[in-house]
A = this chain, B = another copy of it.
Amino acid sequence: MTLTELRYIVAVARKRHFGKAAEACFVSQPTLSIAIKKLESELDVRLFERSSKNEIRITDIGQQIVDQAQKVLRETQVIHEIAQQGKDPLSGPFRLGAIYTIGPYLLPDLIPRLNTATPNLTLIIEEDFTANLARKLKNGDLDAIVISYPFDEPGIATTPLYEEPFVVAIPPGHAWNEREDIAVDELAGQDLMLLGAGHCFRDQVLAACPKCMSQSSELTRKLEGSSLETIRHMVAAGTGITVLPCTSLLNRHSNRELVRIKPFADPRPGRVVALAWRKHYPRSEAIETIAEAIRGCDLPGVKRIDDADQAA
């Protein structure tokens, strides 16, 4: 049985005439006769009563089958409609993941931007650790993720979005209160609070300040499962100091008077935030659009990385 045969029997049922049905199907009359004969033979059922002079009649069973054939053809049409509607890569659901230390600062700006730029794109947001995001991306549970370098996974492509310097956060009464900037190595003697294992930001800070590595282990252990906001509050309370990505310094945070922010002295440590997706992900246009939207976000202190820079 083929869809063509079904179209033919529906045409014959409508026209009640082989020649006219053939014309309506844009085929010759023998084509139609043979096709119907083939279908009748396959189903082992007589669909039409041929009479040479008068119009063709449909058998009872033929009518039932023609009705069902029409249903099949309608459902087939739906496939075309789905394809037509879904052809735009900028429509439909898009599952975007982001790490904990980026999501809360990037997404409030990004989501309204995308909703305006691509109203048919339904964003579904998920925050998690890099490792979990990577797994979900590979699974297909996510379509793209916002992470920070280093990030190299087989089958995954990335594009850098912006470079984000780190800054130091100290309580108001701290000895560094009047300092212009802080050298990375100076962190070693301080009560440095960092996020727990799993947060890539922790590793990035420690990588930037190798001397902190041994010293901070006990303190940071207490902050497993914490967040930058919690740590910021602890800084305000005088428990210690911390390092923050500059995007977390959005002016909507009410406690900004309670912590002092100091930049690092050159060479300033930082990280590159990137978008990652499966190499064979078909909606590349959606990827590009989202990458551009992120680059266009108004984030404090970051240095945007354009596609051209990436190639260099």
A49-B280, A87-B44 known; A92+B138 contact, CB < 8 A: no
Number of interface residues of A (CB under 8 A): 45
Which residues does chain B contribute within 8 Å of A79, judged by CB atoms? 1, 6, 43, 65, 68-69, 72
Smallest CB-CB separation from A279: which chain B residue?
B51
A43-B80, A44-B87 known; A59+B282 contact, CB < 8 A: yes
Distance in angstroms between the alpha carbons of A3 and B68 in the assembled complex: 15
Which residues does chain B contribute within 8 Å of A59, judged by CB atoms? 282-283
A1-B76, A57-B140, A93-B60 known; A49+B282 contact, CB < 8 A: yes
Which residues does chain B contribute within 8 Å of A71, judged by CB atoms? 75, 78
Q: Which of B6, B43, B68, B155 contacts A54 (CB 8 A)?
A: B155
Q: Are A72 and B64 in contact (CB under 8 A)?
A: no
A83 beta carbon closer than 8 Å to chain B: yes
Q: Are A1 and B3 in contact (CB under 8 A)?
A: yes
A281 beta carbon closer than 8 Å to chain B: yes
A 273-284 binary contact with B (CB < 8 Å = 1; else 0) = 000001111110
Distance in angstroms between the alpha carbons of A68 and B71 in the assembled complex: 13
Smallest CB-CB separation from A155: which chain B residue?
B51
Q: Which of A51, A76, A87, A155 has the most CB of B within 10 A?
A: A76
Q: Are A82 and B65 in contact (CB under 8 A)?
A: yes
Q: Are A83 and B61 in contact (CB under 8 A)?
A: yes
Q: Are B2 and A154 in contact (CB under 8 A)?
A: no
Q: Are A43 and B278 in contact (CB under 8 A)?
A: no
Distance in angstroms between the alpha carbons of A6 and B278 in the assembled complex: 26
A78-B68, A79-B65 known; A86+B45 contact, CB < 8 A: yes
- Nearest-CB distance from A88 to chain B (Å)? 10
Distance in angstroms between the alpha carbons of A180 and B11 in the assembled complex: 65
A53 beta carbon closer than 8 Å to chain B: yes
Which residues does chain B contribute within 8 Å of A154, judged by CB atoms? 53
A46 beta carbon closer than 8 Å to chain B: yes
- Nearest-CB distance from A292 to chain B (Å)? 21
Which residues of A155-178 are within 8 A (CB) of B? Answer: 155
A61-B83, A79-B1, A83-B65 known; A280+B50 contact, CB < 8 A: yes
Q: Which of B60, B61, B93, B281 contacts A49 (CB 8 A)?
A: B281
A2-B2, A3-B1, A54-B155 known; A86+B72 contact, CB < 8 A: no
A-B contact pairs, 11 of them (CB 8 A): A6-B79, A43-B80, A49-B280, A51-B278, A51-B280, A54-B155, A60-B92, A68-B75, A68-B78, A68-B79, A72-B76
